[in-house]
Structure 1
Amino acid sequence: MTVAVIGGGIVGRTIALALARAGERIVLVDPAGEAVPASWGNAGHIATEQVAPLASPATIRSLPRRLFALGGALDLPLSQANAWLPFGLRLIAAARPARFAAGTEALGSLLAEAMPAWRRLVGALGAPGLLREEGHFVAWERAASAAAGRAHWAGAETGTASFAPVCAADRARLDALSPHVADAIRFSGSGQIGDLDALAAALDRALDAAGVARIAQLATLTRAGRGVAIAAISADRIVVAAGTGSAAPMRMAGHRVPIIAERGYHVRAAADRWPADLPPVVFEDRSIIVTRYADSVQVAGFVEFGRADAPPDPRKWQRLERHAAALGLPIAGPFRRWMGARPTLPDYLPAIGRSTAADNLFYAFGHQHLGLTLAPVTAELLAAAMAGALPAIDLAPFAIERFGRIDA
Structure 2
Amino acid sequence: MNKGAKRTMPDDRIAVVGAGIVGRSIALALAARGQRVVLIDAADDRAAPSWGNAGHIATEQVAPIASWATIRSMPKRLFWRGGPVGLPIAQIATWLPFAARLVAASGPKRFAAGQAALAAMLAQAMPAWERLAHAIGRRDLLREDGHLIAWESAASAAAGRAHWGTADTGTARLGEASADDLARLRALSPGVVDAVRFTGTGQIADLTALADALDAALAAAGVERLHRHATLERHGRRIVVEGVAATRVVIAAGVGSAALMAAAGHAAVPLIAERGYHLRGDADGWPADLPPVVFEDRSIIVTRYADQVQVAGFVEFGRADAPPDPRKSERLCAHVTALRLPIAGPFRRWMGARPTLPDYLPAIGRSTRADNLYYAFGHQHLGLTLGPITGEWVAALMLGDAPVPAAFDVERF
TM-score, length-scaled by structure 2: 0.96
CA distance in 2, matches of 1:201, 1:145: 40
CA distance in 1, matches of 2:335, 2:298: 7
Give 1:33 deviation, angstroms.
8.5
Tell me which of 305, 310, 317 is aligned to 2:322: 310
Matched, 1:274 2:314: no
Q: How does 1:28-177 map to 2 (within 5 A)?
A: 28-32=39-43, 36-177=47-188
CA distance in 1, matches of 2:259, 2:227: 17
1:157 counterpart letter in structure 2: D
CA distance in 1, matches of 2:45, 2:317: 18
Q: Deviations over 1:247-272 (max 9, x none)?
A: 01101122121000000000000100
Tell me which of 213, 216, 222 is aligned to 1:202: 213
2:78 counterpart letter in structure 1: L
Q: Deviations over 1:94-149 (max 9, x none)?
A: 00011000000000011000000000000001100000000000011011011000
Q: Secondary structure at the match of 2:344?
A: coil
Q: What corresponds to 2:298 in structure 1?
A: 286
1:203 counterpart letter in structure 2: L
Give 1:228 deviation, angstroms.
0.7
**Identical-pair percentage:** 68
Q: Secondary structure at the match of 2:259?
A: helix
Greater Cα offset, 55-64 or 35-44:
35-44
Q: Deviations over 1:233-285 (max 9, x none)?
A: 11100000000000011011221210000000000001001000000000000
CA distance in 2, matches of 1:307, 1:201: 29
CA distance in 2, matches of 1:358, 1:286: 45
Matched, 1:361 2:378: no
Q: Secondary structure at the match of 2:14?
A: strand
Matched, 1:389 2:404: no
Matched, 1:251 2:271: no
CA distance in 2, matches of 1:35, 1:72: 29
Give 1:332 deviation, angstroms.
2.1
Matched, 1:401 2:404: no
Q: What corresponds to 1:406 in structure 2?
A: none
Q: How does 1:318-329 map to 2 (within 5 A)?
A: 318-329=330-341
CA distance in 2, matches of 1:199, 1:189: 21
2:365 counterpart letter in structure 1: G
Give 1:63 deviation, angstroms.
0.2
CA distance in 2, matches of 1:58, 1:220: 40
Give unmatched runs, 5+ long, in structure 2.
Answer: 1-11
2:411 counterpart letter in structure 1: E
Q: What corresponds to 2:7 in structure 1?
A: none
Give 1:163 deviation, angstroms.
1.0
Q: What is the aligned-residue RMSD (CA, Å)?
A: 1.0
Judge conservation of contact 2:252–2:376 (CA < 8 Å) in 1. yes
Q: How does 1:372-387 map to 2 (within 5 A)?
A: 372-387=384-399
Q: Secondary structure at the match of 1:14?
A: helix
Q: Secondary structure at the match of 2:302?
A: strand
Give 1:300 deviation, angstroms.
0.2
Give 1:39 deviation, angstroms.
0.3
Judge conservation of contact 2:284–2:344 (CA < 8 Å) in 1. no
Judge conservation of contact 2:146–2:200 (CA < 8 Å) in 1. yes
Tell me which of 14, 17, 27 is aligned to 2:28: 17
Greater Cα offset, 168-177 or 40-49:
168-177
Q: Deviations over 1:334-391 (max 9, x none)?
A: 0000000000000000000100000000000000000000000000011000000125
Q: What corresponds to 2:273 in structure 1?
A: 261
Give 1:295 deviation, angstroms.
1.1
2:204 counterpart letter in structure 1: I
Distance 1:34 1:238, change over 3 A: farther
Give unmatched runs, 5+ long, in structure 1.
Answer: 404-408
Give 1:34 deviation, angstroms.
9.0
1:249 counterpart letter in structure 2: L
Matched, 1:8 2:23: no
Q: How does 1:181-192 map to 2 (within 5 A)?
A: 181-192=192-203
Give 1:397 deviation, angstroms.
0.3
Following superposition, which runs of at least 4 residues in structure 1 exceed 3 angstroms of deviation? 32-35
Q: What corresponds to 2:9 in structure 1?
A: none
Q: Secondary structure at the match of 2:317?
A: strand
Q: Secondary structure at the match of 1:382?
A: helix
